[in-house]
Structure 1
Amino acid sequence: MSIDNTTIQDQDDNNTNTNKQLRKISHPPALRIIPPLNFCPVEKQLYRSGQPSIINQSFLNELNLKTIIWLASEEPSDDFLEYCNYNDINIEFIGMINEFEYDQQRLQNPWDSLTDSTIRKALQIIVQKKNYPILISCGMGRHRTGTVIGCLRRLQGWNLASVSEEYRRFTGARGGRILVELLIEGFDINSVEIDLEKAPDWLKVD
C-alpha cells in the first residue's frame, strides 16, 4: 500500500496549526484595570472616587488601601463591603445617619447629610498617617467627596478660587452646588486637631 507524501505533509501542517491555535487559546485574558468613577489622586496615598464596583476591584488592589472613608448617607453595595472585609480594609461610615438625625439635619442642611461635624470626623482621619493609604468615596464621588476635599484644601492653605475650581471639575454638566461651596467656605479649619508628628508628610499647615 503506497502512502502519498503530500497527504502526510498536509496532515502535519494541519496538526501544527491546531497546536498553535491551542497554545493561543491557552493564554489567560489580560487583566483589565479599570478605575472607579471620578477616581483621582488627591495627595500621596490619598485618593477620591465614586462608589467602586466589581470591575474596579483589580484597580483597587493596586492601591493597597488601609482605610475607606464612606461619605454617602446610604450603605455601600454588598459586593463593596465583601471586598473590604476580604482585604481587611477599614471602612469609616462618616455620612450615614439614622432617621432622627436626618430629620434634624434637613432643617440645617437640606441639600445633603454632611455637616461641620461629619466633615471634621473625616478630616481627623485624613490628618493621621496611620490610616494610609486612604480612599474618600461616596455614591458618585462628586458633592460629598468634593466637600471634604474642599475643606482639606482650605486646611492646606489653598485660596477659595482654587478650591472651587477643583470642586467644579468633578461635578460634570450639572455643575456645582452653591451651598456646597458656602459650606466649604464657612467650615472652621481651626476645629481640626493636627499632630504634625503623626500627620502625612505632605500636610503642611501654619
Structure 2
Amino acid sequence: RMAVLVPPQNYGMVEQDLYRSAQPNELNFPFLENLHLRTVVCLAPDQLPSSLIMWLEDQRVRLVYLGEEVGKRSPWKPVSEETVLEGLHLLLEPSNYPLLVMCNLGRHRTGTLIGCLRKVQGWSLTSILEEYRRHAGTKCV
C-alpha cells in the first residue's frame, strides 16, 4: 500500500531544489523525505516543535534558524534587513541545496525573502508582488 504524501501548508517550488512552505508537521514528513533536503531555513519567530527538530536531525538536514523574537521586531517590519541578507546568502550558495524556506504560515516572512531573491534574479516588481500575493492570500499588501 502506498503512503499518502501530504505537502506542508502553503508549499511551493520556487525553482529547482528550492522550496517554500509553512511549518511542517509529522503528517508532512514522508512528503519532505522525497525532496532530499540538505538545508531548512526557518524564519519563524517561535521555537520549533521538538518533533520537527528531531526529524530534521534524523534526516541529517541542516537547520538554519533566522527567526527573530516577537518582542524584538516592529509589526510593520516583520523581517529585518539583516535577516533578509543572511537568508539571501544561504539561498545564493548552491551547496545548501536542496533547500526549504519556511515560517509559521509560509506567507509573509517566507514571501519577503523569496521576493528579495527574485529581485536579485532580475524579476520585475509586478511579477514579484504577483508571486507574493499568490502565497499570502487575501491578507497582503
CA distance in 2, matches of 1:157, 1:77: 36
In the TM superposition, what are the counterparts of 1:105-124 in structure 2 within 5 Å? 105-106=73-74, 110-124=75-89
More strand by share: 2
Q: Does 1:170 align with 2:135?
A: yes
Q: Deviations over 1:138-178 (max 9, x none)?
A: 0000000000000000000001000000000011232x13x
Cα distance between partner residues in 1 of 2:34 and 2:133: 28
Counterpart selection for 1:82 from 46, 54, 75? 54
Q: Structure 1, unaligned stretches of length 5 or more?
A: 1-28, 178-206
In 2, the alpha carbon distance for the partners of 1:113 and 1:88 equals 29
Alpha-carbon RMSD: 1.4
Aligned length: 141
Letter in 1 for 2:52: F
Instruction: Name the CA distance, whole Å, in 1 between partners of 2:108 and 2:89.
Output: 19
Cα shift readout 1:25-72 (whole Å, capped 9, x = no counterpart): xxxx43011100011100110000000110100000000000000001
How far, CA to CA, are the matches of 1:97 and 1:173 in structure 2?
25
Q: Could you say which structure has the greater relative contact order, defined with CA pairs below 8 angstroms and 6 or more residues apart?
A: 2
> Does 2:96 align with 1:131?
yes
| Equivalent residues of 1:33, 1:58 under 8 A apart | yes
1:158 and 2:95 correspond:
no
- Give, in angstroms, the shift of residue 98 of structure 1: 8.0
Structure 2: runs of 5+ lacking an equivalent: none
Which structure: larger Rg?
1
Q: 1:98 to 1:35 in 2, by over 3 A?
A: closer
Normalising by the residue count of structure 2, what TM-score does the alignment of the two structures yield?
0.94
Percent identity between the two aligned chains: 37
Greater helix content: 1
The structure-2 alpha-carbon separation of the partners of 1:145 and 1:98, relative to structure 1 and needing over 3 Å to count, comes to closer
